[in-house]
Amino acid sequence: MAEDSKPKSGWINLAVDYGPILVFFAVYRYYSPADDADAVGSVLAVVRSTAAFVVAAVIALIVSKWKLGHISPMLWLSTGLIVFFGSLTVIFQDSFWIQIKPTVIYLFFGLSLLIGWLRNVSLVKMVFGSAFEGLTERGWLLLSRNWAFFFLLLAGMNEVLRAMFNEANGQFGTWITAKLWVFLPLTFLFTFAQIPMLMRNGMSEDEAEEALSEIPPE
């Protein structure tokens, strides 16, 4: 009998969500000039890495549909913003646009979840409700609240790092590195930290493991 949907895979989810940022980092490092004073070389490195980021994000979208059988709403939004802000970066050759993109994503998710929580509505449930059927209403609201504040924290952190590390002061590569070695580990740690609360509110062990593969993309 044919399968109704394609099997889920944790590593494919991670590759789809975080593969593009790895490509972004690798291409920038490859083209980044050795001399920080090389303004032209720095701009070219930013433009080339951003263009590669956009292409990788679109490929990740296709892979998600092909391998997982679906494209999550968050992935649609993230990819759309990568293409939009990435295109502005390439057109205007200004890293401001690609650096502001994470702040826009984090603020959108954070404020949306926070408003929903204040209205006693879990927007997270609207996205993942069918996957985590055992979670209680209280669990969904707590999850929405926790993710809302975490996203707002990330938005603030990105703004601080964007001001400190940018193309103008020759530290754009440091900002990309922070995306990999600060934001990504924090997101994983935060996601793991939610598991005990979720299991206290009705989520099964299998569903808890599945939740780890649903980490929102950058």
Q: What is the pLDDT of residues 48-82, one digit of tens each?
A: 999 999 999 999 999 988 887 878 777 888 899 99
Of 80, 183, 72, the residue nearest 128 (C-alpha): 72
Asked whether residue 1 is domain-assigned, the answer is no
Query: Over the stretch 148-180, which tens digit does the pLDDT of each residue have?
Result: 999 999 999 999 999 999 988 888 999 999 988
Q: Give the CA distances from residue 18 to residues 12, 39, 51, 156, 162, in Å, rounded to whole numbers and listed in that order.
A: 10, 29, 16, 21, 20
pTM score, whole prediction: 0.84
- Stretch (H or E) spanning 172: helix 172-178
Place of tokens 């929903």: 116
Residue 3 belongs to a domain = no
Structural domain of residue 110, as residue ranges? 10-214
Q: Is 2 part of any domain?
A: no
Alpha-carbon distance 173 to 107, whole Å? 23
Residue 196 counted as domain residue: yes
Within a domain: 4: no
- Number of structural domains (the chain) is 1
User: Looking at the domain assignment, is residue 46 inside a domain?
Assistant: yes
Whether 183 and 154 have beta carbons less than 8 Å apart is answered as yes
Check: CB of residue 21 under 8 Å from CB of residue 179: yes
Res 174: pLDDT: 92
